[in-house]
Amino acid sequence: MRSLEANHVYEAASRWVDGALRTDGSLFTPGKPIWSSQWLGELHERFLNNPDESQDAFIDKLERQLANSHPEVYQLMGEILYVYFLIVSTNNSDGEEETIKTVLGWAPAPVAIPPDLAAGLVSGLINPGQGFHAYRPFQVGFIIEFVEQWKQKSTDERALLLENPWEFKNFLHNIPLSSRLLSKGGNRYRMQREAILHLVFPDTFEVAISVDHKEKIAATFARLVTEPTDDLDRKLEQVRRGLEPEHGSGCYLFYEDPVKSLWENNGQKKRQPVSPPVDDPPAPKPPSDLQTLADKLLFDVEYLHEIEKLLDDKRQVIFQGPPGTGKTYVARELANCLSGSKERVRLVQFHPSYAYEDFVQGYRPALVSGQPGFKLTNGPLLEAAERARAEPEAKHFLVIDEINRGNLSKVFGELYFLLEYRDEEMRLLYADELFSLPDNLYIIGTMNTADRSIALVDLALRRRFHFVEFHPNTPPVQGLLRRWLEQNAPAMSWVADIVDRANEKLDDQQAAIGPSYFMKDGLNEEMLRLIWKHNVRPYIEEHLYGEHDRLGEFDLDTLRREAEQDGVADANGPTNADD
């Protein structure tokens, strides 16, 4: 499964395996002991156990961390960066080479990158996406941690692992990450872990280094996995065998059409051609401006501009309204539009058992030095904050669905303060370092007003968020169903009259029936009856608990007759009592 166009990459990877993994040698100066436990240990202390959390550029922080190191340490870091860049296909290989040369140049007598190895940087294999570079310290740190623990194996043990791809993977995936940097970094290193698998065993493991992509591929082609296994790469091995007779055996099988378009779209073929194979293929672009988004949502654009102003003011808003009013859908679409990329939007959903340790940071079960234990792990809030901090020029969003279903004071903890004071720092519950919320991280919450737990939303939270109403009888949701039906199912326009009639009878803005139940492609009378019976009617029964004698008022046919009678009356005009 190796790329025939990237022989320089595989040759360089093979030299790394022979020089650094089989022995303690060197990529740039063969025979010189550079990848030794001694120099790896010094680098561990300087880089892994002394993370620089400033906002400076990676290279500036690295220079401070390595100041006054032994010359061998500078060379080792230069060679580690070479391995890090080796997988990357880019138009800026000169920039990668210059970064390595800069690090090598900190030594009193800098070594040079051999020309044949520099050629490996030119071709690369894949475009791993922004996350790979945004989390560079973690990717680089994983290489150090991996090789340092690898060196604890005997020469014979290493040789056996390098003969067996699956035993090698088992070792790689079960490394206990004990350093200060990686133990708090969540899974931000795992793309580098997958890259090592392919570089060391290119004929066994796929060029894909995105675990998310691997999971999507395995799920889409699950029918081809005939031998049950929990191992994701073994599933891909079976999928490849099943696809090759029809689609060929190229390295980029999973990133070429029609295979790529199938797993990207959950098994449905795309109508339009896709871009050339890269590991992190661009998703369909979100609407580029609010007017385009307003046209898509059938909203007044001024309403979206108003929400944008609210976000710019407090950085936090909550969309509140009854079920079916499109709160979550609009939140995600708006976040995608304002951020410019779906990759900058993270969605989480609160529930009664959700805690601070899930949302912010907490200890999770993990193997520690090969034994069951607990590891401090960042939650979605810290992960979103770190991604925003790594890309300060862009807007990043955290969408919290059903925010009022969580115990908010317990989930947010000291974040209540940071939500209001973005320029302040605080020490988090489980961390020694000070933390602040970046100014370019925005939060959109959604709140179901028909949920009784809304009473749990305290004034402290309300003061820190702007609240935006999503109710069927007020803009922008008012009239939305009618507008959608006129465009998509004009023969069913009378459904809007039925829903309006039902909401008049309910006479409760917080529990009104939203339009989203009915905004479905192919809506017809049969589908409407199913929706009413299995979605709308149970919702009304719950709202009218103790008033079962009223349920007859909400019979679909009854509501339709009443709506038609109202329509006839309106068409005939008001009755003149003097006639």
Count of all residues that appear for the chain in the document? 579
Yes or no: say if 233 and 218 are a contact pair by the CB < 8 Å rule: no
290-469, CATH topology level = Rossmann fold (3.40.50)
Distance CA 264, CA 270 (A): 9
Provide the CB-side half-sphere exposure for 233 (13 A, CA): 23
φ, ψ of residue 211 to 5 degrees: the values are: -65, -35
Yes or no: say if 530 and 518 are a contact pair by the CB < 8 Å rule: no
Domain map (residue ranges) of the chain = 4-200, 211-264, 290-469, 480-570
Residue 120 pLDDT: 79
Closest by CA position to 192, among listed 241, 140, 147: 140
Residue 128 pLDDT: 80
Q: Pinpoint the alpha helices (H) of 421-552.
A: 459-464, 480-488, 494-506, 525-531, 537-543
Distance CA 502, CA 208 (A): 52
3-class secondary structure, 347: strand
Distance CA 327, CA 572 (A): 38
Residue 239 pLDDT: 92
Model pTM score? 0.52
Residue 458 pLDDT: 67
Yes or no: say if 335 and 389 are a contact pair by the CB < 8 Å rule: no
**What is the mean pLDDT of each successive set of 10 residues along the chain, which is 579 residues long?**
72 93 94 94 93 81 94 95 88 76 94 88 77 81 94 94 95 90 81 93 90 89 92 93 87 85 65 40 58 88 92 94 93 94 93 91 81 87 92 93 88 88 89 89 92 60 89 89 89 92 89 92 93 92 85 91 70 43
Q: Pinpoint the alpha helices (H) of 46-114.
A: 58-65, 71-86, 93-104
CA distances from 490 to 146, 251, 307, 518 (A): 62, 49, 31, 13
Residue 195 pLDDT: 93
Distance CA 281, CA 69 (A): 40
Cis peptide upstream of residue 476 (ω within 30 degrees of 0)? yes
Q: Left if phi > 0, otherwise alpha if psi is -120 to 50, otherwise beta: which for 365?
A: beta
